Structure 1
């Protein structure tokens, strides 16, 4: 069923309540029972929507996800609620009272904007997706602030709005799209739309090349709980000079701004190793973290910082290093046996070895109660294993 309308009827809503929380193993029995009283297509649609809601809980929380309506692509591509709320807060701080949300999807960003008190025009050209956005605005009591329009975003006049937010589609028939000009709409179109607005935010993939960022934009990489979620190109922020780069970590937010520092020096392995947050690495701000830690790099091409001092920082995870070995699986296996290691965490940067493969070979079975983290990396160009534990 490619139409949400039947699920929005009293019968459809009752079915959604009836199948809420159904475990995959129980779906057949539940479907068989419900089809005695309801159309088979409606039962299947309700069960499918229940599965999507369960998947969406990680992004939207159980309470909201349990009331919202989703498409498979909508669950996959929508913005995590915490990230959308942060972006809405930034727009609110700019004095934005209205936003044209172009390529709105199922409405995740529109919901966050409306909850921040911002009036939203939410536009998507796909009929089912636009219907989901409209249903979500209604389900969450935000229909008074969100107008959903089914249209091609390139045909929409945004001059009446304080800001434009564009979230181009970055997936195609073959999966993720890495070329910004292959987005739908292309990044160049989104940039032109941004330049015409007083304020704008363009959501792009975190892997966007820095050279693809327009000179007048501020580029921000955002992580949530240590996972990099997206990059945003900001226009008209008034709070940062064009070309500013920053990394923002959620929850928090904690923001690290670039200062144009040169690459850190390479130094010998110190007592502590720091693993910068992924947003810091994507934003090319490892030098700023190294300066804060009075540290250097293990290798000129590897984003691990080392220092003899332990300094707290939200922008990197600290590990105390206990051993340094040239890459040798047999030596590592013997050392783990000697240390009675039962839990082995493998991290890598600058190594072709797969962590799971090393874990299987070095620790085929637990040796005891202790835990060790091993870093597969390079030190001054040489393949190296560093052993330690989180501080």
Structure 2
């Protein structure tokens, strides 16, 4: 008599409990600690994936003021506002032109009755308190002329960026928990930060198994296939902020898998295996990990029924292990259903519910049939009329149909037939929302 299948909800809860017990609590991601990363390396020599989406571990105070000094907001002339009091078109004020102030050079001083040509971003000369745009002067251009006329008064501070008007030295610049957005990178560089402390990302060892699996570019012998799972799941893991080490095991021999784990598992926060979890012969993951106490069984989900989870001992303690089935669609659907929001929460600090795929109820364009005792996950697209249409069939090998899809379609257990027009829950997976 076969064992009863575990429900999707029960297995999702079991995965979450496993991570919490191992110290990977999505509600307390700071337990992973922090690491310092050099700011200049991120854009000059670094791997962009190492920086994208990183979360600050500590508050950061501004080391300098922004702007660092008073500077011009416009190309024009730096002046004393008092010199232009009463200036009109009929009675313009004429000022002596002094040497220009340009960006990157120290500014000269300015006395009453003088005007200094100034470029955008250049330091405001000592004694000046306003900038008159070049188009408001006569002549309305820079040149070798000795005097310039101005036909209107100005207020002090006109077109001047005051030092510290964005942030003052010592003021809170960014908070712990803030994401390193493009603007955050810019403001850190603007105050001269050399390194930044960010939350450490979960380190995941990804091991795809199978005697038949080979890497793209290799010559395939009869019966062999290319390893799609390492690439698709690596992409999915890095997208949610995990640091991933990919170490395939191109064998069904237990000693080969043990050697891969012995070499790569120390230092990992989480082990994810793919393949070798069913009830057949030569199920290498099950053969190696079941004797260690890892649970293997069936979840009432199609695709992705065979699953495993537990802990694997290492010299430093134990590492939680999540074991997915080997068919490519089963692997990706399992990641979406059980692990994605938990890992995203560990990497970002936001609650898993906030990081869940955008969900919507959408009418079906065509009828669907689903096994009554299974939660079926189909792949599909939403058409121009706002209806969802399944792509491909329910089989777990149809990776091309998955690649073309924009949504996952959920048919819960207990539902066998759905008619065109019936509403179904969909998860957006194309990154558009």
TM-score by length of 2: 0.25
Structure possessing the higher relative contact order (Cα contacts under 8 Å, 6 or more residues apart): 2
Larger radius of gyration: 2
